[in-house]
Structure 1
Amino acid sequence: MERANQLNVNEAGFYIPHHAVMWKFRIVFNASARTTTVVSLKEVQLVGTTIQEPLLNIIYRFRRFRIALSPMLRRCFDRRESPTDDITIYRLTTLTYGTAAVPTTRSAQSTNAHTTTTRWSLTVNKSIAARDAILSSFYVDDFPTSCDTEENATELAANVISLLSEGHFRLRKWNSSSGEIIARLIGNRSSNVEMTIETPTATVLGLRWDAAADELFFKVDLKENIGFLTKRRVLSDVAKLFDPTGILALVVTGKIFIQRLWAAGLSWDEPLPDELQTTWVAFYSELD
């Protein structure tokens, strides 16, 4: 984003309401908020079509070969201000999540494709595998992929880094199921060095990944005290059971229960009837 001046009365613009999420601090923009025109930014945008690969395809590709790689595109927000400063207006110059056009205009996806295809003719020494991986394995800013050998993984990583640098994109937070690959990527080029993966538990496409064991697993933080049960609370708990692969049959059970809440005509914050509370408590207590 960049500093901007106050909009004048004849200039089209939209001030997006936002708030801070304090855990893992970040800003959340609300493009659905309606203005004095009774219209929101989200309502006036064209949705378009999704241009990225289906999530499940990317997960399967990530699990296809023996050596797994999972870096992210770098995103920088360097501006700092003091709470005592005057309120400053900024203009967003990058893709804003929460808007209707995001599925089509994901900056990481569309720009990577553009960079790769337009610069390909100028980088003939880069491997075809790197080009194809960029076009097929990115999901927003995640780049999970896999190779059959350490040598191929090292070559792919180097070529992908080189191609993306043409568009001034930087990959960071490299992780791999191979300590040897990690050693090479952080600058130790000796093929004999095997590094210990110090933080094996990572997140890949919303799933937990134990890089040392190279296994995907599920983990849900459950509260011991269920507390006040409402449709909103149940929906929040079921949403924590993220399973794009369809391995966890219990996710279906949770979604069917949500259908029962809708069929019962309950409002978002209305207490659940005794029968539904009993059913949910029994299901919830078995999740761990």
Structure 2
Amino acid sequence: VLKKWASNVPAILDKVPPEDRMGEPLSFDDFVGTGTKVLGLQWSHQDDTFMYTFQLERHVSTKRGMLSLIARMFDPLGLLTPVTLFAKTFMQRVWKAGLSWDEPLPHDIAEPWHKFVIDLSNLQCVRIP
């Protein structure tokens, strides 16, 4: 039996017993409205769109910090492939440079990486129908 049903069509939810429904939609800090987490993405009930949300913690310009950020870019549908591929090519540059895990990134890698990390916040504005 399927549990935790969610829909943006009230007529469908009326046919689902209350104990099998998702419950109240969640409110997200960066998103005006409510949504439900589905496949690692946020789904907006109001406009039936997916959006990406992830927390950008304090930026650390080391190989360890890069890998930590890249690992948190969960993209089960492959819709962020241009972004994740870009990040992974940066990681390749760090491996080729032979840096240790906690060694600061060289300027030629650190500067564009920092800009990339700042630009990641723009992904939260993207809505996928």
Ranges in structure 2 where 5+ consecutive residues have no aligned partner? 26-33, 122-129
Alignment match of 2:38 (pick from 182, 204, 207)? 204
Partner of 2:30: none
| 2:87 is the alignment partner of 1:246 | no
3-state DSSP of counterpart to 2:43: strand
| 2:109 is the alignment partner of 1:276 | yes
Post-superposition Cα deviations, 1:201-249, rounded to whole Å, max 9, x if no partner, equal 11211122113322111122223x42x3211111111222222333332
| 2:11 is the alignment partner of 1:177 | no
Q: Counterparts of 1:108-123 in structure 2 under 5 Å?
A: none
Shift of 1:270: 2.2
Q: Please tell me whether the aligned partners of residues 35 and 45 of structure 2 are also in contact (alpha carbons under 8 angstroms).
A: yes
Post-superposition Cα deviations, 1:66-107, rounded to whole Å, max 9, x if no partner, equal xxxxxxxxxxxxxxxxxxxxxxxxxxxxxxxxxxxxxxxxxx
- Runs of 4+ aligned structure 1 residues displaced above 4 Å come to none
> With CA pairs under 8 Å and 6+ residues apart, which has the higher RCO, 1 or 2?
2
- For normalisation by structure 1, the TM-score amounts to 0.34
3-state DSSP of counterpart to 2:104: coil
Q: Output the CA distance in 2 between the equivalents of 1:211 and 1:258.
A: 36
Partner of 1:213: 47
- For normalisation by structure 2, the TM-score amounts to 0.70
3-state DSSP of counterpart to 2:120: coil
Q: Counterparts of 1:113-152 in structure 2 under 5 Å?
A: none
Shift of 1:176: 1.9
Larger CA Rg, structure 1 vs 2? 1
Matched residue count? 108
Ranges in structure 1 where 5+ consecutive residues have no aligned partner? 1-160, 162-170, 188-196
Q: Output the CA distance in 2 between the equivalents of 1:244 and 1:276.
A: 27
Partner of 1:267: 100
> What is the alpha-carbon root mean square deviation over aligned residues?
2.1
Q: Output the CA distance in 2 between the equivalents of 1:234 and 1:245.
A: 22
Q: Please tell me whether the aligned partners of residues 208 and 217 of structure 1 are also in contact (alpha carbons under 8 angstroms).
A: yes
3-state DSSP of counterpart to 1:185: coil
Shift of 1:281: 0.7
3-state DSSP of counterpart to 2:108: helix
